[in-house]
């Protein structure tokens, strides 16, 4: 039996096993069957026997067809509810931003400039790669597009200049560059609300639970003080823990200068893309004060990008990745909402509370954050992690924490979504890209992931003690 068939059978097996188990006390049969489909969808998202969008679409369709949410009208309204969610369209717009960076060449130019001025040593190159990600992070909620689409094509050329290849002297420079790239994109993904699409999804789910929509500024007020120091020491930490054998790199600035010369002067479209990106960032930061929704800003900027021919209409409607994510996220939002509708979240929260009710508030906060972080070992998708766990953890927190603790707790909990991607070679979108470069073995990746994951989690927990 082929590996693909086994992958396809796995979620079906989960569904069948759970479906025929009697519903636990306190849950209706409909709620239990909903949960069975939900777990099957999560398994499907983790192993991806078919595209993730199809997994989510199939799950929602089956729930609606079986009437597990309600009558026919209630079921279809629920199934389509995710497509009216503003966060979904913000994520879609983010893909257009990423495309604009790519088509104009601005993303590549920014990376090359960093290398030109910071690439005289291996450590300097590490910081150049890190800052290349940083300058793009606030604008690009897809860390896969940011790290894999903009940084990777440039950074992966650097070790080859020094004859460092996956099968020939990978430790000379390639392994170090690869690890710095993935580690820093995980940090920047937690640093900014708009640096990781699941951040936005988590904020939306949190809003449904608490009634408070976390703003860009509120997120930055807690996560920036925690992540900036981590960002600044990560290239150095990688240099100490996993050092390159090539310490100096005088050729890199020369190569970057040559590439920049090949690119020629900054084009009008690059200037325009840069201007639009700054406008979007300003409005995202101050949108709440100005009364402008983040999604409205993004859609308006994308419209200008199309009208100004930064991207074309054909680019927009033919972007399969964007539409896949649109369907994927929409169905996941609906399913997460369904967990609440059928009473599953309340049931889980009440049972979990009895287990941890004896903990002090401080230990409760630490336990919830640590468990939430470590459970990512079982997820290959941050989005699946968010969908499966955020509603449950928020329900528990809402009933066991003081009201004034809820907001900082939710920000810190959601803030772990970026950094938790470091722990496995499949933990976040860019991970398979950098692991696939071939410079770091799987065993080495797991070891480094454990070290850096423990450090990042420790910083998060310290932040929890400070801000909550």
Could you tell me how far CA 176 lies from the centroid of its own chain?
Answer: 23
Q: How many residues are listed for the chain in this entry? A: 468
Instruction: Enter the pTM of the model.
Output: 0.73
**Residues 110-137: what's their mean pLDDT?**
87
- H or E, element range at 443: helix 442-467
Considering the chain, what is the average pLDDT of its residues? 87
State the pLDDT at residue 309.
93
User: Strand, coil or helix: what is 211?
Assistant: coil
Distance CA 141, CA 45 (A): 20
End-to-end CA distance of the chain: 51
Residue 12 has pLDDT above 80, yes or no: yes
| Burial bucket for residue 451 (CB in 10 Å: 0-12, 13-18, 19+) | middle
Closest CA to 423 of 392, 377, 467: 377
Q: Is the dihedral of CA 263, 134, 325, 301 positive or negative?
A: negative
pLDDT digit string, tens, across residues 172-189: 999 999 999 999 999 999
Residue 140 has pLDDT above 70, yes or no: yes
pLDDT digit string, tens, across residues 345-358: 778 777 777 777 77
State the pLDDT at residue 127.
93
Residue 417 has pLDDT above 90, yes or no: yes
pLDDT digit string, tens, across residues 312-336: 999 999 988 788 878 877 887 888 7
What dihedral angle (degrees, nearest 10) is formed by the CA atoms of 132, 133, 138, 140? 110
Distance CA 2, CA 377 (A): 25
State the helix-helix crossing angle for 403-419 and 382-400, rounded to 10 degrees. 160
Non-local CB neighbours of 161 within 8 Å, separated by 6+ positions: 249, 251, 252, 255
pLDDT digit string, tens, across residues 193-234: 989 989 998 998 898 878 888 888 999 999 999 999 999 999
Q: Which two tokens stand for residue 410?
A: 């939710």
Which own/partner pairs from 421-425 qualify as long-range (CB within 8 Å, at least 24 positions apart)?
421/143, 421/186, 421/189, 421/376, 421/382, 422/182, 422/183, 422/186, 422/449, 422/452, 422/453, 422/456, 423/376, 423/377, 423/449, 423/450, 423/452, 423/453, 424/376, 424/377, 424/380, 424/449, 425/449
Distance CA 345, CA 146 (A): 34
Q: What percent of the chain has pLDDT over 90?
A: 38
pLDDT digit string, tens, across residues 237-265: 999 999 999 888 787 888 888 989 998 99
Domain positions in the chain: 1-84, 86-320
302 Ramachandran zone, left/alpha/beta (phi>0; psi -120 to 50): alpha
State the pLDDT at residue 268.
93
Residue 463 has pLDDT above 80, yes or no: yes
State the pLDDT at residue 1.
62
- DSSP class of residue 173? T
User: Strand, coil or helix: what is 248?
Assistant: strand
Distance CA 440, CA 178 (A): 8
DSSP H helical ranges for 319-429: 320-341, 344-356, 361-374, 382-400, 403-419
State the pLDDT at residue 66.
92
Q: Which two tokens stand for residue 323?
A: 């539409």
Residue 98 has pLDDT above 80, yes or no: no
């Amino acid at each position: 039996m082929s590996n693909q068939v086994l992958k396809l059978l796995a979620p079906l097996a989960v569904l069948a096993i759970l479906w025929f188990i009697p519903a636990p006390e306190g849950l209706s049969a409909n709620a239990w069957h909903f949960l069975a489909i939900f777990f099957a969808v999560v398994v499907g998202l983790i192993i991806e026997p078919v595209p993730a969008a199809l997994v989510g679409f199939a799950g929602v369709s089956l729930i609606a067809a079986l009437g597990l949410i309600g009558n026919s009208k209630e079921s279809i309204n629920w199934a389509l509810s995710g497509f009216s969610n503003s966060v979904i369209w913000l994520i879609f717009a983010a893909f257009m931003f990423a495309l604009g960076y790519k088509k104009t060449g601005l993303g590549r130019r920014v990376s090359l400039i960093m290398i030109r001025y910071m690439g005289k040593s291996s450590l300097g190159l590490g910081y150049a790669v890190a800052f290349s990600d940083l300058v793009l992070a606030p604008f690009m909620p897809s860390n896969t597009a940011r790290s894999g689409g903009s940084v990777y094509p440039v950074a992966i050329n650097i070790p080859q200049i020094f004859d460092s290849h996956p099968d020939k002297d990978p430790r000379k420079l390639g392994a170090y560059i690869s690890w710095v790239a993935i580690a820093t994109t995980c940090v920047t993904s937690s640093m900014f609300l708009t640096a990781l699409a699941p951040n936005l999804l988590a904020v939306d789910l949190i809003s449904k639970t608490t009634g408070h929509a976390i703003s860009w500024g509120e997120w930055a007020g807690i996560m920036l003080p925690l992540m900036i120091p981590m960002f600044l020491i990560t290239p150095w930490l990688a240099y100490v823990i996993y050092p390159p054998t090539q310490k100096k790199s005088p050729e890199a600035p020369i190569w970057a200068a040559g590439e920049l010369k090949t690119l020629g002067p900054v084009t009008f479209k690059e200037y325009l893309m840069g201007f639009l990106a700054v406008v979007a960032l300003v409005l995202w930061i101050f949108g709440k004060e100005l009364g402008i929704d983040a999604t409205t800003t993004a859609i308006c900027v994308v419209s200008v990008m199309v009208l100004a021919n930064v991207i074309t209409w054909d680019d927009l409607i033919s972007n399969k990745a964007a539409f896949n994510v649109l369907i994927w996220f929409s169905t996941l939002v609906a399913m997460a909402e369904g967990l609440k509708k059928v009473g599953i979240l309340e049931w889980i929260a009440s049972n979990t509370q009895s287990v941890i009710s004896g903990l002090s508030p401080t230990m409760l906060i630490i336990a919830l954050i640590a468990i939430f972080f470590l459970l990512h070992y079982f997820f290959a998708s941050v989005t699946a992690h968010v969908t499966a766990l955020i509603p449950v953890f928020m329900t528990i927190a809402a009933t066991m924490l003081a009201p004034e603790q809820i907001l900082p707790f939710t920000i810190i909990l959601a803030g772990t979504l970026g950094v938790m991607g470091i722990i496995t070679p499949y933990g976040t979108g860019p991970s398979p890209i950098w692991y696939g470069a071939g410079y770091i073995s799987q065993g080495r990746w797991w070891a480094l992931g454990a070290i850096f994951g423990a450090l990042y989690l420790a910083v998060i927990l310290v932040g929890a003690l400070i801000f909550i």
